Amino acid sequence: MNSRIQNLYSFMERQSLDVLLVTMPKHVYYLTGFYTDPHERFLGLVLVKGQDPFLLVPSLDLEKAQQTSSVSTIHAHTDTQNPYAVLKSYLPSSITSFGVEKSHLTVAGFEALSSHVEAKVWADIEQPLREMRVIKTPEEIVIMKKAIRIVEDVLRAGVEKVRVGVTEMDIVAELEYQMRRLGSQGPSFGTLVLAGEKSGQPHGEPSNSVIKEGELLLLDLGVFADGYASDITRTFAVGELNAKNKEMYDVVLQANLRGIEAVRPDVTFASIDYAARKSIVDRGYGDYFITRLGHGLGLEIHEYPSVHGENQDKTREGMLFTIEPGVYVPGHGGVRIEDDVIVTADGVEVLTSFPKELTIIGV
Ligand code: MN
Ligand code: MN
C-alpha cells in the first residue's frame, strides 16, 4: 500500500472513522494512479477500517482501472445497477463514522449515499488530502516542470501567429491547437487572449475582436500534463506602446520580481502578497491591483494555498504556487505577469522561464 493511502488510514485512526470514501476523480488518481472522468456515474476509492482498500468503478472503466491502479481490489457497477446499493454490499453492516469529501460530494450524491448507508457521523476528509497535496514530491515536480515546459512552447508558437488584424479567437485557437500538438492533455482552463481595453478585465472573454497596433495583448494559458496543471501569463506590446502602457508594464514587472524575491521557507503568504502589492501601491496603481497575488497549483489549476494579504499560513519547502500581480484599468487596459514558483530549502525556484521584459510582437 502506498504512503498516501497509509496517511488516510492514519487519519481514519485519529478521527475514529469506520469508512472513508474518496470520490473526486483527481484524488482517486492521486491515491491510486487510475484516472477517469466518470461524468455522472459513481466512482469511489473506499477504505474500511482494518481492511484493504478497494475501488468501485463504472464497469466501462474496469479494464483501465485494472491496468493502472495500484489498488488491486476493484469492483464494478453497471449502468443498470444502483451504485450505492453496490457500495453498501461491500461495507460493514454497522458504521458509526463515515468520511466523505464534503466539498466534492453533491447534495444529490449525499442523499443517495445516505439513503443506502447509515452512519451517525458524516466527517469531512479534506484536511489530510490537502495536507499531502500542498507539498509536491520530487516526482510531482518533474511532472509540473513538464506541464510548464509544454505551455511555454505553446506560448512561443502562439506569439508567432500574432499579427495586427487577427482576432483574439484566432490566437486562442492556435494556442489550444498547439497544446494538443505539443503533447499536453489540453488546456487547464479556458485560454485567455485579451487585446487592448479588454486586457483590463482579469477574467475577460476572448472574442472575435481584432488585435490592433499599439495595444496591450494579454495571454493567460495553462495545460494539463499527466494530470497536473501549469499556468502562465505574459502581456505583450502589439507595436509601440504609449507612455502610460509602458509605465503600467514596468509597475507590474517590478511587482512580479518583488513578489518572487519575497518567497522563501517559513514566511507568511500575506508577506509575499504585501511585497508585490507595496511596489504597486508605491507607484500609485494600488487601486488597480484588485486580485490576490497568486494561488496554489497542482492537480487543480487553483488549489491551496491562496496567496493573499490575510493568509497567515507559512510557506514550506515543496509548496508550488503562482505569482501573478496585475494592474487593471477599466476602460483602458491591463497588464498581468504570471510565473509558477516553488519554495526550495533555502529560497525559491522560478519554474516558468519565458522572458518578461516588454516585448513588441505582431508588427
Ligand atoms: Mn493564469
Ligand atoms: Mn493563475
User: Which residues have C-beta under 5 Å from ligand 1, the single-atom ion?
Assistant: 220, 231, 233, 338
Pairing state between β 97-100 and 74-77: unpaired
Find the mean pLDDT for residues 72-96. Answer: 97
Q: Which three cell numbers stand for residue 236?
A: 505583450
pLDDT of residue 140: 98
| CA 290 to ligand 2 center in whole angstroms | 14
Ligand nearest to the CA of 233: 1
| CA 159 to ligand 2 center in whole angstroms | 19
Q: Is 191 exposed, middle or buried (0-12, 13-18, 19+ CB in 10 A)?
A: buried
- Which pLDDT band, with edges at 50, 70 and 90, does 1 fall under? confident
Distance of CA 275 to the CA centre of its chain: 23
Task: Decide whether 3-133 matches 135-361 in CATH topology.
Answer: no
C-alpha to C-alpha distances, 96 to 84, 99, 107, 111, 352, nearest whole angstrom = 18, 10, 20, 17, 48
Dump pLDDT digits (tens) for 256-312. Answer: 999 999 999 999 999 999 999 999 999 999 999 999 999 999 999 999 999 999 999
* Distance from C-alpha of 338 to C-alpha of 255, rounded to nearest angstrom: 11
Dump pLDDT digits (tens) for 121-167. Answer: 999 999 999 999 999 999 999 999 999 999 999 999 999 999 999 99
* Distance from C-alpha of 221 to C-alpha of 278, rounded to nearest angstrom: 26
Ligand nearest to the CA of 321: 2
- Which pLDDT band, with edges at 50, 70 and 90, does 313 fall under? very high
Dump pLDDT digits (tens) for 243-259. Answer: 999 999 999 999 999 99
| CA 25 to ligand 2 center in whole angstroms | 22
- Which pLDDT band, with edges at 50, 70 and 90, does 237 fall under? very high
Q: Is 222 exposed, middle or buried (0-12, 13-18, 19+ CB in 10 A)?
A: buried
- HSE value, Cβ hemisphere, 13 Å, CA-based, for 310: 1
The string of DSSP letters for 338-363 reads BEEEEE-SSSEEE---S--S--EE--
Find the mean pLDDT for residues 185-214. Answer: 96
pLDDT of residue 20: 98
CATH code assigned to 135-361 = 3.90.230.10
Ligand nearest to the CA of 336: 1
What mean pLDDT value characterizes the chain?
97
Answer whether residue 203 shows pLDDT above 90.
no
Answer whether residue 232 shows pLDDT above 90.
yes
Q: Is the peptide bond before 202 cis (omega within 30 degrees of 0)?
A: no
Beta bridge partners of 336: 326
SS3 content of the chain, % helix, strand, coil (to 5): 35, 25, 40
Dump pLDDT digits (tens) for 178-198. Answer: 999 999 999 999 999 999 999
| CA 56 to ligand 1 center in whole angstroms | 35
Sign of the C-alpha dihedral computed for residues 133, 320, 26 and 40 taken in this order? positive
Answer whether residue 5 shows pLDDT above 90.
yes
| CA 297 to ligand 2 center in whole angstroms | 8
| CA 242 to ligand 1 center in whole angstroms | 25
| CA 9 to ligand 2 center in whole angstroms | 33
| CA 149 to ligand 2 center in whole angstroms | 16
Pairing state between β 54-58 and 74-77: parallel
CB proximity list for 255: less than 8 A, separation 6 or greater: 276, 277, 279, 280, 289, 325
Residue-level length of the chain: 363
| CA 301 to ligand 1 center in whole angstroms | 9
pLDDT of residue 99: 98
- Portion of the chain with pLDDT greater than 90, in percent: 99
CA nearest neighbour of 338 among 219, 163, 224: 219
| CA 245 to ligand 1 center in whole angstroms | 20
| CA 345 to ligand 2 center in whole angstroms | 24
- Which pLDDT band, with edges at 50, 70 and 90, does 34 fall under? very high
Ligand nearest to the CA of 295: 2
| CA 309 to ligand 2 center in whole angstroms | 16
Contact 326, 289 (CB under 8 A): yes
Indicate the class that CATH gives domain 3-133. Answer: alpha beta
Collapsing DSSP states into helix, strand and coil, what is residue 327?
A: strand
pLDDT of residue 351: 98
* Distance from C-alpha of 285 to C-alpha of 278, rounded to nearest angstrom: 10
Angle (nearest 5°) at CA 246 between 242 and 252? 150
| CA 303 to ligand 1 center in whole angstroms | 13
CA gyration radius, the chain: 23
Collapsing DSSP states into helix, strand and coil, what is residue 171?
A: helix
| CA 17 to ligand 1 center in whole angstroms | 38
Q: Is 219 exposed, middle or buried (0-12, 13-18, 19+ CB in 10 A)?
A: buried
Residue ranges of the domains in the chain? 3-133, 135-361
C-alpha to C-alpha distances, 56 to 42, 76, 115, nearest whole angstrom = 8, 5, 18
| CA 40 to ligand 1 center in whole angstroms | 28
Ligand nearest to the CA of 155: 1
CB proximity list for 26: less than 8 A, separation 6 or greater: 35, 227, 299, 300
| CA 337 to ligand 2 center in whole angstroms | 10
pLDDT of residue 131: 96
